[in-house]
A and B are shown apart, each in its own frame.
Chain A
Amino acid sequence: MTPPPPLLEVHALTKRFGAQAALADVSLTIAAGEVHALAGENGAGKSTLMAILSGALVPDAGTIRWEGRPVLLPDVRAAQALGVSAVHQEPQLVASLGVAENIALGRLPHRAGPLRLVDAGAMRAAARAALDRLGVAVPLEAPIGEIGVAQRQLVAIARALHFGARLIILDEPTSSLSLSEVEALLASLRALRQRGTALVYISHRLEELRAIADRVTVLRDGRVVATAPMAGMSNEALIQAMSGRELAADLRAGPPPAGTEPRLRVRDLARKGRLHAITLEVREGEVVGLAGLMGSGRSRALRTIFGADGRDAGTVEVRGPDGWRGVHDVAGGIAAGLGLVPEDRRGLGLVFTATVADNIGLRTPKGGHRWGLLRRGVLRAVAEAAVEILHIKTRGIDAAVRTLSGGNQQKVVLGRWLGDTRVLLLDEPTRGVDVSAKAEIHRHLRALAASGMALLVASSEIPELLALCDRILVMREGRLAGELTRAEATPAAILALATGAAAARAS
């Protein structure tokens, strides 16, 4: 008696884009009820593999077997019919329709007859059944636009279940979820696994892979470099497999010497319902972290300090060569020496239709224009310098910024603020950036601090803050819940402040 064939088996899959092989000779098996992690840096081929398995791309060579039978996946519908569905990082849902409609969309139950009237009762029942399998309750009538990101992610997974998926591919499902939401999502996924649904789980976050995956396959440059049981691979081994390099050590230099001047002074900053009495200081050469759960007001605090979001009360001051200057709006903040690297580089950071040079020069640097006429020599020199200092990998400063990898795009946003910036605010500086680019960006940030810049870094990744910051401020519900020195800062201490556990214990 032979064991049953695996649910999915791919063999020698190859896909080229022009001269470049996005996937080369990739083989992989996935058993029913298995959670299979797919790890690798950006550009390693994870997205291409996901696209092929979900029918969005057709491979150039290789075979795919489903329960032992060779199959072709010419399009997404064929893959769905077979039982493979993909859930993307940003779930593709219709914001104006309700939860039930979104789950059933594409397979709306309808009554017999030429009008194909929607059977609303059957639709709701099917949606509820799919959500039940995830063990979650989402109001069926709520418009998608009014529920949170975490619930949208669940709706997208429920839709895959409604389509009869037996293998669901999840691409960075937690990238914009808070810690508690991640836990809830992982619990739902475990429930699915118990009922025999197989999952391919793509994420940059190693802790998550460890928490959910049975096995892991690491891709690098389009090839499989390792497949192993998750428990059998240490984080160091994983990172080394992904990057081909050793893990970088703790980056923190010593705290800035006593007597250094404060560069940023924020007093009693408030916005009704959002921020309350934010008071903080960042000194020259210091990297201060801003921790907190999703929705705790980290981004709002940075944007309000920068002048991009309105405030009801409080002052923001930046110390320049000629003393303190108040900040009231974005232009004034930039003139005083503030810079912001926003959280969403595609939506907020970059002009995708423009070149690397134009994106760097967008915050017109000193001497970048005279009487409104651009001084292109100056702008080009500034861009060239940023590319060199930050090691931005690009064909040149005239390359379109959309042709760069995520990490290099992030460096372009950072490159805008080299030069005369005195205080740099960074929001999730390495989100969606691969492991080695992340380490590189961290090194650059420390180098900026070493040159005297003051940095305030908001991040949802506690390890990032621990590796980078001299001091960590923790936010909860729009307030500063506490401050941790480098010695005090541990994941547990940060979480205690972020969740209010510390306050509860103290009282």
Chain B
Amino acid sequence: MSRSPWWQRLAPLLGLFLLCLVLSLASPHFLTVDNLLNVLRQSAINAILALGQLVVIITAGIDLSIGSVVGLTIVVLTLLMRHGVPVLLAAAVALALGTAIGLINGLLLTRLRLPHPFISTLGTLNVARGAALLLAGGVPISGLPPGFREVVAGSLLGVPMPVVIAALAYLVLHVFLSRTVYGRDLYAIGGNREAARLCGIPVDRRLNLAYALSGASAGLAAIVLAARMNSGFPLAGTGAELDAIAAVIIGGASFFGGVGTVGGTLIGALIIGFLRNGLNLLDVSAFWQMIVIGVVIVVAVWIDVLRQRVGRTA
């Protein structure tokens, strides 16, 4: 929807290249097929969550609940599978549950008219996490059917399955956001809600859809995470919403809505993934990693502010 000059759109990509260049010079282990596939695998879950977050951030919203939704759906999914429910059915239920919680987030905004999604999703964040802990009795759920892990956490033609799933999700969302009336409407709502309404766009229905999609992305991420961990840990996904928001923002989306692309978000998720991986290879402690990622978020948004300032006076 919003087309900025190419050099502006390429800024996050350039950042990713520079990062990879520096890391490959700093560590001989970085630029290997195994390591790169490893980074992709590790980034897949954050990348999927970032996709849902992108959709709501485009509408000038936010979804803080997705980490907890991952926790609740992973518990439900693994409980169902342990009780012998077929894997496909259990996965469908997990997706539906994530979508339903997302829809509730939307309805809290559009029906109850809560003033800001920060508040409504902060509420569901707590509710979903509490429900997850209650259902699981506070302990991880194990004993999943062996085939589940083999397929969902395995690989397809040498590519890790989580990466395949994330890639498909990105493709679908890209078409959704850039080629459909629904996607176009979401950008318009984020850019100017009243203008969108006066053009006949059903704003409330579209917002419900956006939050439902965000919940669905959390459900999908939960399926992948359950396979990777081969268990359902009720605290899974704690804080994951913050990494997802970081990926979206590093990827050039605007917190004020109306701006953001699937491609940018992918790059944002990869920048975070490569940064973690590179710092690990360089033996930088996890504590320092947090500091570095915090600085990257601030710098990325600062660069964005500078770009917009240049764009405005030109």
Which residue in B1, B198, B258 is a CB contact (below 8 Å) of A330? B198
For residue A195, which residues in chain B have a CB less than 8 angstroms away from its CB? none
Stretch at the interface among B139-147, B157-165, B181-189, B218-226: B181-189
B179 in contact (CB, < 8 A): yes
For residue B231, which residues in chain A have a CB less than 8 angstroms away from its CB? none
The CA of A354 and the CA of B178, in the complex, are separated in Å by 13
B251 in contact (CB, < 8 A): no
0/1 string, A341-379, CB within 8 A of B gives 1: 010000111111111001001111000010011101000
Taking A358-B1, A362-B188 as contacts, is the C-beta distance between A330 and B180 under 8 angstroms?
no
Is there contact, CB below 8 Å, between A340 and B192? no
Is there contact, CB below 8 Å, between B195 and A349? yes
The CA of A29 and the CA of B202, in the complex, are separated in Å by 54
0/1 string, A293-336, CB within 8 A of B gives 1: 00000000000001010000000000000000000001101110
The CA of A243 and the CA of B104, in the complex, are separated in Å by 56
Whole-angstrom distance between the Cβ of A420 and the nearest chain B Cβ: 13
Taking A17-B313, A330-B200, A362-B196 as contacts, is the C-beta distance between A353 and B187 under 8 angstroms?
yes
For residue A374, which residues in chain B have a CB less than 8 angstroms away from its CB? 179-181, 184
B199 in contact (CB, < 8 A): yes
Is there contact, CB below 8 Å, between B3 and A355? yes
0/1 string, B137-179, CB within 8 A of A gives 1: 0000000000000000000000000000000000000000001
Is there contact, CB below 8 Å, between A351 and B192? yes
Is there contact, CB below 8 Å, between B199 and A362? yes
B257 in contact (CB, < 8 A): yes
The CA of A169 and the CA of B216, in the complex, are separated in Å by 54
Whole-angstrom distance between the Cβ of A43 and the nearest chain B Cβ: 15
Is there contact, CB below 8 Å, between B314 and A331? no
Whole-angstrom distance between the Cβ of A19 and the nearest chain B Cβ: 9
B116 in contact (CB, < 8 A): no
A106 in contact (CB, < 8 A): no
The CA of A364 and the CA of B182, in the complex, are separated in Å by 11
Is there contact, CB below 8 Å, between B179 and A354? no
Is there contact, CB below 8 Å, between B182 and A354? no
The CA of A361 and the CA of B192, in the complex, are separated in Å by 15
B113 in contact (CB, < 8 A): no
Residue of B nearest to A398 (CB): B3
Which residue in B1, B179, B196, B202 is a CB contact (below 8 Å) of A355? B1
The CA of A362 and the CA of B193, in the complex, are separated in Å by 12
Is there contact, CB below 8 Å, between A348 and B195? yes
Whole-angstrom distance between the Cβ of B46 and the nearest chain A Cβ: 26
Whole-angstrom distance between the Cβ of A303 and the nearest chain B Cβ: 9
B98 in contact (CB, < 8 A): no
Taking A308-B197, A308-B198 as contacts, is the C-beta distance between A351 and B191 under 8 angstroms?
yes
Specify which of A333, A353, A354, A358 lies most central, judged by the most chain B CB atoms within 10 Å of its CB.
Answer: A353
Is there contact, CB below 8 Å, between A354 and B191? yes
Residue of B nearest to A346 (CB): B192
Is there contact, CB below 8 Å, between B195 and A351? yes
For residue A376, which residues in chain B have a CB less than 8 angstroms away from its CB? 179
Is there contact, CB below 8 Å, between B181 and A353? no
Number of A residues whose C-beta is below 8 Å from B?
A: 33
For residue A351, which residues in chain B have a CB less than 8 angstroms away from its CB? 187-188, 191-192, 195-196, 258
For residue A363, which residues in chain B have a CB less than 8 angstroms away from its CB? 199-200
The CA of A352 and the CA of B197, in the complex, are separated in Å by 15
A416 in contact (CB, < 8 A): yes
Whole-angstrom distance between the Cβ of A155 and the nearest chain B Cβ: 26
Chain B contact patch, size range:
20 to 34
How many inter-chain residue pairs (CB < 8 Å) link A and B? 92
For residue B4, which residues in chain A have a CB less than 8 angstroms away from its CB? 400
For residue A17, which residues in chain B have a CB less than 8 angstroms away from its CB? 313-314
Taking A352-B192, A353-B187, A374-B179 as contacts, is the C-beta distance between A416 and B199 under 8 angstroms?
yes
The CA of A374 and the CA of B1, in the complex, are separated in Å by 12
Taking A354-B1, A372-B182 as contacts, is the C-beta distance between A362 and B190 under 8 angstroms?
no
A254 in contact (CB, < 8 A): no
Which residue in B1, B184, B191, B198 is a CB contact (below 8 Å) of A348? B198
Whole-angstrom distance between the Cβ of A363 and the nearest chain B Cβ: 4
Taking A308-B197, A362-B199 as contacts, is the C-beta distance between A354 and B2 under 8 angstroms?
yes
Is there contact, CB below 8 Å, between B2 and A400? yes
0/1 string, B88-102, CB within 8 A of A gives 1: 000000000000000
Whole-angstrom distance between the Cβ of B56 and the nearest chain A Cβ: 16
The CA of A363 and the CA of B182, in the complex, are separated in Å by 13
Which residue in B1, B181, B192, B313 is a CB contact (below 8 Å) of A369? B181
Residue of B nearest to A329 (CB): B200
Whole-angstrom distance between the Cβ of A465 and the nearest chain B Cβ: 23
The CA of A18 and the CA of B309, in the complex, are separated in Å by 13
B259 in contact (CB, < 8 A): yes
Interface hits, A196-240 → B, CB 8 Å? none
B208 in contact (CB, < 8 A): no
Is there contact, CB below 8 Å, between B194 and A348? yes
Is there contact, CB below 8 Å, between A372 and B180? yes
B261 in contact (CB, < 8 A): no
Interface hits, A402-439 → B, CB 8 Å? 416
Is there contact, CB below 8 Å, between A353 and B3? no
Is there contact, CB below 8 Å, between A353 and B191? yes
B254 in contact (CB, < 8 A): yes
For residue A342, which residues in chain B have a CB less than 8 angstroms away from its CB? 195, 198
The CA of A180 and the CA of B259, in the complex, are separated in Å by 43
Whole-angstrom distance between the Cβ of A368 and the nearest chain B Cβ: 8
Is there contact, CB below 8 Å, between B314 and A355? no
The CA of A335 and the CA of B259, in the complex, are separated in Å by 28
Specify which of B179, B190, B194, B198 lies most central, judged by the most chain A CB atoms within 10 Å of its CB.
Answer: B198
The CA of A362 and the CA of B181, in the complex, are separated in Å by 9
Is there contact, CB below 8 Å, between A364 and B181? yes
For residue A350, which residues in chain B have a CB less than 8 angstroms away from its CB? 192, 195
Is there contact, CB below 8 Å, between B195 and A362? yes
For residue A416, which residues in chain B have a CB less than 8 angstroms away from its CB? 199
Taking A362-B188, A362-B195, A369-B181 as contacts, is the C-beta distance between A355 and B200 under 8 angstroms?
no
Residue of B nearest to A368 (CB): B181
Residue of B nearest to A399 (CB): B3
The 4 closest A-B CB pairs, nearest first, are A353-B258, A351-B191, A353-B191, A334-B200
Extra contacts, 16 of them, besides A353-B1, A362-B199, A362-B201 (Cβ < 8 A), are A334-B199, A340-B198, A342-B195, A342-B198, A347-B194, A349-B198, A352-B192, A352-B258, A353-B257, A353-B258, A353-B259, A358-B1, A358-B188, A363-B200, A373-B181, A400-B3
Can you give 30 A-B contacts (C-beta < 8 A)? A18-B313, A306-B198, A308-B197, A308-B198, A330-B197, A330-B198, A330-B199, A331-B200, A333-B200, A334-B199, A334-B200, A347-B192, A348-B194, A350-B192, A350-B195, A351-B191, A351-B195, A352-B191, A353-B254, A354-B2, A355-B1, A358-B184, A362-B196, A362-B199, A364-B181, A369-B180, A372-B180, A373-B180, A398-B3, A400-B2
